[in-house]
Structure 1
Amino acid sequence: MRRQARSSLTVRPSEGTRMVLAVAAADAEGVSRVSERLAVRTSTGRLPVQEVRDHHGGRFHVVDVPAGFGDPSGAVGWEDDAEAPTDLAAGFSTEPPAPGSLRIEYACTVQGAESRPVGEPADLIRYVRPSRYAESDKLFRTAAASFGTLDGLDLLAAVDEWVHDHVHYVPGFSRGTDGAVDTFLARQGVCRDFAHLVVALLRARNVPARVVAAYAPGLDPMDFHAVAEAWVGDAWHLVDATRLADTTTLLRISTGADSSDTAFLSTVRGGLYLDRISVDAVLLD
């Protein structure tokens, strides 16, 4: 299986901001990157990018916005903007971003499929616990009443079906701080909300479950996508309660307890405003 994914983000950060990107395809057994390109562009050149390995094969890319950012006369810290031509450059704007803005461009072509899902033995402990956006302890009685007679793949299928049937996909509905309980009460949300609720209900029944951020070929509306992944029958199983994507073609970006571990863009210092985002993913064969 051969897939191509790309994303472009335009942001306006303050000077001194440290941005953390989680947009690159994760390392996974059975998947090889045929080609890959990541650039953080300003009106005067490119900013340096440092790669930091996360757990489960994820790859953070850290960008520090230097003093003098946005000054059209230039500033220290830029990299040479020269870059060898590549097939992955197609589709990205050739115009520099406006002063005061950054444009993050990522593209990759990968070959193969995961032969063994990422993980470690500690996951079977870590991902049964409640987390910031998957408050399984608050849904314990609800999960017991609805799914108490089920286990294994039957439980997984029942939780997936319940969330699909009872939660409506509404683009732009939820807040970034909403968790599984908010989604359970509102009965509306986006993909991250579906994933959080599936994860929380499964953890409430003592099933290890986690959130996966991914590129999803064929997704409509196209965006970064979030799904749940559960440990059942000595294997990890992907579950997309939105039914918007084919889980067999997903390209993993990051994996964690909830979206606090898998956000495509975050800051650990300073702040920024997200102006524009564009995501695309296709199955080439």
Structure 2
Amino acid sequence: MTTATRDVSANLEVNVTAATELEFQITVAKLPGLTLTEELSMTVDGEPIQPEEIVGEHGSRIHRIQVESGLVVVDYSASVTTPAEPIAVEVTDHSIYLRPSRYAEADKFFGFAAGQFDINLPPGELLQQVAAYVEDRLSYIPGASDPIDGAADTLLANAGVCRDYAHLVVALLRALNIPARLVAVYAPGCDPMDFHAVAEALIDGQWVAVDATGLAPRQSLVRIATGRDAADTAFLDNHRGTINLNSYKVTAVVAGDLPTDTGEARIGIG
């Protein structure tokens, strides 16, 4: 992972037309070893509002607010100067991250994966094969998928965006008995710039980042949220009311030159 400073930011404008509860996952995950400075502000019709912070697994942070109506503006910026230490492997990881989930329906892929890949290969080699397969199979086309599409839909469509690539990687790896999960990240170098999603696979006792899109070097990624799939890591959740996401903007840059990532090394997310 890179040790260069990474500066990230997000701005969102959400119009609330019926009373609701909003949850945002846009802040950098708080993990051991991480050094950063950050600012988060939220307003409703120009008036400051203090969100409730909920800290989940792997340092993921949800910021929750209750809104009757009005324009919600969220501004976040952070400067990461020291990367986090590698996330420790928990005994439950081998269970939770092998299970089928909402968008990574691994149970639909058991037969397909066994026919497509040599299940007798070491996990590290299978990981490389899965990443290469997804990269070759899919075309990155914004708008080609719906938010409700899962990995099976992506395989049939042969196209999608970063979350679709990650879901397909995760589903195939789980079908091959390799624990895998999805991570929402800030990604310096990503083009088009946006919130980014990658997979993580548990290989030889460490979590390894997998990005079949190849849109950004893995060394520069900054973890936001970690979960079974996008249902756990969405940057905005709405409960009860009616909203419209008017706009959002994401930036992520690294000091100096972007690192080079051939996709072959085992790289963790810092």
Match of residue 209 from structure 2: 238
Residue 156, structure 1, aligned to residue 101, structure 2:
no
Equivalent AA in structure 2 for residue 245 of structure 1: A
- Between 1:234-243 and 1:11-20, the stretch displaced more is 11-20
TM-score, L = length of structure 1:
0.86
SS in structure 1 opposite 2:109? helix
1:66-122 deviation digits (Å, cap 9, x = unpaired): 3xx4xxxxxxxxxxxxxxxxxxxxxxxxxxxxxx32111111111112321255221
Query: Which has more radius of gyration?
Result: 1
The offset of 1:241, in angstroms, is 0.2
Q: Equivalent residue for 2:169? A: 198
Kept in 1, the 8 Å contact 2:89–2:205? The answer is no
| Residue type at the aligned position of 1:210 | R
How do residues 34-113 of structure 1 correspond to structure 2 at under 5 angstroms? 35-66=37-68, 69=69, 100-113=70-83
Q: Tell me what 1:5 maps to.
A: 8
Q: Output the CA distance in 2 between the equivalents of 1:17 and 1:277.
A: 19
SS in 2 for 1:101: strand
Structure 2 residue runs without a partner (length 5+): 257-270
Q: Which of 159, 173, 186 matches 1:215?
A: 186
- Matched-pair identity in %: 44
Could you tell me whether the CA contact under 8 Å between 1:10 and 1:276 is conserved in 2? Answer: yes
Aligned partner of 2:259 in structure 1 is none
Equivalent residue number for residue 140 of structure 1: 110
SS class of match (1:120): coil
Q: In the aligned structure 2, how far is the partner of 1:151 from the partner of 1:262?
A: 29
Match of 1:14 among 1, 14, 17: 17
The alpha-carbon deviation at position 223 of structure 1 amounts to: 0.2
Q: Deviations over 1:220-276 (max 9, x none)?
A: 000000000000111110000000011111000000000000000001232311111
Instruction: Give the alignment partner of residue 115 of structure 1, picking from 63, 81, 85.
Output: 85
Aligned position for 1:175? 146
From 245, 250, 255, the counterpart of 1:274: 245
Given that 1:135 and 1:181 are in contact with CA atoms closer than 8 Å, whether structure 2 keeps it comes out as: yes
TM-score by length of 2: 0.90
In 1, Cα distance between the equivalents of 2:85 and 2:67? 38
CA RMSD in angstroms comes to 1.2
Q: Which has a greater percent of strand?
A: 2
* Cα distance between partner residues in 2 of 1:5 and 1:255: 18
> Are the aligned partners of 1:184 and 1:197 in contact in 2 as well (CA < 8 Å)?
yes
Aligned counterparts of 1:186 and 1:151: Cα–Cα separation in 2: 29
Asked if the contact 2:11/2:74 (under 8 Å) is kept, the reply is yes
CA-CA distance at 1:137 after TM superposition: 0.4
1:3 and 1:110 in contact (8 A); partners too: yes
CA–CA separation in structure 1 for the residues paired with 2:88 and 2:225: 10
